Structure formats: structure tokens, C-alpha cells
Amino acid sequence: MGKLVIQKYGGTSVGTTDKIKNVANRIKSYYEKGNKVVVVVSAMGHTTDELLDLAERVNPNPSKRELDMLLSTGEQVSISLLAMALEAIHVPAQSFTGAQVRIMTDGNFSNAKIQAIDDSKIRKALDEGKVAIVAGFQGIDQEENITTLGRGGSDTTAVALAAALKADECEIYTDVDGVFTADPNKVAGAKMHEKISYDEMLELASLGAGVLHSRSVELAKNYDVVIHVRSSFHSNPGTLVVSEEKLVEKVTVSGVTIKKEEARITIPDVPDKPGIAADLFGALAEEDIIVDVIVQTSPENGKNDISFTIPRKAIRNATPILENFCQRHQTGKMQINDKIAIVSAVGVGMKSHVGVASRMFKALAENNINIEMITTSEIKISCVIPEEQGQTALKAIHAAFINNN
């Protein structure tokens, strides 16, 4: 008895017509074992960038509705080519746009959230013995406007389909072998996980180490969909993303990451009164500036020092907002340090292990790395350090927790 399998292939996996043929052959091997296969694909390689370039030339600031209309063509090209490639090797296939399988979203163009999926057309195609190929990244709102789901949207499409169809497996094919304890290109001893929990994956995703985008992991967690992250270049098993209960061994630290190209902003002598943080970070959020680490010192004479990190490339947009804030609240002079990095250790085992933070600090101290800021969550510790020492820090923390386990 065959399974119902969702397979998602990203842009690099379908980057050329030859790669599309490879994907078709891989799908065929699953199909021929009697499985029902639903495939989600992204746009081919650089298609999205090429479309954005066209848009830029006619309008540097296009409406998001029209941008979504434009970008959604990328996946439509991929699904039809993949269906043709399957037909060429005698596998019956049928492609579907987001609109055709009514992937209903809210009307938040360029970053829409899936609200419902009508699986009837897909089920019909599967019952007819076809492989169903669904365009990732796209949906429609109540007025049938085309929407897109934002970064990593195709992963979200795959997980949403797995939930809607109650699929037996949800495989996310990518250009890496699975989820590692650290980027194997940066840390020689990095190990691949057999399993990792949703929460750890979420923390790693938000740190930019994301093989998967946060929203797809959140959705998988909510609907208890096991995600199988694996390589599209071979058939090695990869990593399963599962609920915490399914982890046999809860490791203290499952991942170490580094985020570069960040800047630290410090505003001294901020009046200690309600609403002041909301004022500051609300203004930054309005300009879509992502604030990561935030540290506020304890009040002293009714004044706080507030430090936080933003992406380095956001400094230019942030500066007038921050200067305005400083003037309105008569703070001290804002300081910017644009030579920092953020190293983080993530692991569900932290909840039950003591001394994790001190072990991390010790590893940094032994390498003469000064810690400028520290934040912790239940399963994550992040330190802001000088950027030039980032690589050393990453290796030291990885060695302390993972290679020395």
C-alpha cells in the first residue's frame, strides 16, 4: 500500500531544464513504487530576480498587488515544465496554480498567510493516477487577487498541503544534506542531525541559518506535520523536524550560528517611562527594520541605556528615525557600532541543563573574545561580539558543546 507523499523542490533544484528532468526522474521512482505524489515547486533559479529587475525598470516602487501578479508567474513556469518533463518519461502529471487549488490567503500582498486549501482538484488528479504539481509561494485572496507568501513561501505551501491532505510524508528537497549543528562550510566538525525539534528549528530559522523558513516550521508544529529536510542531489536520509516529544535524546546545544552584517545601536539616558520602548521599536518596525537583540539596562536615576542590533544595511533608513527619537525624548547621543556579529547557541536541552551560558562565555573568554551584549531565551543564548572574531567564536562554541559532547 503506497503512501501519500508531499515533495517540495526549491529554486536551485529546478534551476535548469536538465535539473527539472532530474527532479522528474526522482519523482518517477516514488510514483512507480505505488505512492501518491504531490509536488510543490519554486520558481527556477534566478527567475524571481529577473522578474524583479523588469519591475524595477518600469517602476522602482511598484504596488505589492502587481508585484505578486508578476512574481507568481515564476512558479507557473516551473510547474508546467515539470509536468511536461514527467509526461516525457510516461508519468501522468497535472500542474496547478495556487488559484486553481484555491490556496486561500489573507490579502497581505507579498507576505500573505494561508487560511485554507481546497484539496478536491488535487485528490481528483491523484485518484486518476496522476502526479499533482502545485505552484509554491502563491495563493489568492477573497477577491481572487494573486498573493505571494513571502520568503520561504514554497516550504509553507508544502507543509500546508501536507496538513490539508493528511500526507504520510512531507519532504523538503534542498541543496544541503540536512540540518547541521553549524554551517559545515564554516565549521569543519559540524554534524548533521537525524532529528531536530520544531522549536530548535524555529530558533535556527530566525537566526538566518534557515534551511526552512520560520512560518513553515510554525505551521508544521501547529498541525504536527513531520518535515523531512533532504538533499535533491542524492538519496541520503537527511533530517526530520519533529515535535519535542519525538526526540529520543535532547541535546544541550543542537545548533550554533553566526549572523554577520549587523550593527549595534546604543542610546544612552533614555527616560524610564511607560511606552518609550514601544515608541522606539514601533517606529523602526514601521520602516520594516528588523531588530534582533535588545538589551536594556536597569534604570538609574530614571534613565536607561537601550542597546539593540539591526542589519547593517538598515543603518541609513534607521538613522533619521533614531535621531528624531533622541531629540523628542532628550536622550544622550546615539552610538553606532557597525562591526559586530551575533553568535548563538540553540538547544531544547538547555531547559534542563544548568551551566550552559557559563560554558558558552568560558569558550569565548578562552579565545579573548569580548562579549558586548547577551540575550537568552528558554532554548537560545545569543552574544554580540566584535565581527572580526566571529569565525573564532563560532568554532569555539561549536567545539565546547558539540565536538566535546
Is 52 a binding residue for its own copies by CB under 8 A? The answer is no
Site for its own copies in 223-252 (CB under 8 A): none
CB contact at 8 A, 7 and 37: yes
Helix/strand/coil for 64: helix
Site for its own copies in 198-217 (CB under 8 A): none
CA 227/CA 195 separation, integer angstroms: 10
Site for its own copies in 56-115 (CB under 8 A): 57-63, 65-67, 69-70, 72-73, 76-77, 79-85, 87-88, 93-95, 97, 99-100
Task: Report the side by side order of strands in the sheet with 380-386.
Answer: 294-296, 303-311, 255-271, 335-346, 380-386, 373-377
Helix/strand/coil for 61: coil
DSSP state of 117: E
Comparing CB distances to its own copies, the nearer of 23 and 346 is: 23
Is 125 a binding residue for its own copies by CB under 8 A? The answer is no
How many residues of this chain bind its own copies (CB under 8 A)?
Answer: 42
**Cα–Cα nearest to 344, from 280, 259, 283:** 259
CA 347/CA 377 separation, integer angstroms: 10
Is 144 a binding residue for its own copies by CB under 8 A? The answer is yes
Comparing CB distances to its own copies, the nearer of 161 and 348 is: 161
β-pair type (4-9, 169-174): parallel
Helix/strand/coil for 337: strand
Comparing CB distances to its own copies, the nearer of 84 and 276 is: 84
From 3-11, 139-147, 254-262, 273-281, give the range in contact with its own copies by CB under 8 A. Answer: 139-147
Residue 148: CB minimum distance to its own copies, A: 12
**Neighbouring residues of 55: CB distance < 8 A, sequence distance ≥ 6:** 62, 66, 67, 70
x/- mask, its own copies, residues 19-38, rule CB under 8 A, reads: -xx--x--------------
Comparing CB distances to its own copies, the nearer of 87 and 194 is: 87
**Residues engaged in binding its own copies (CB under 8 A):** 17, 20-21, 24, 51, 54-55, 57-63, 65-67, 69-70, 72-73, 76-77, 79-85, 87-88, 93-95, 97, 99-100, 121, 144-146
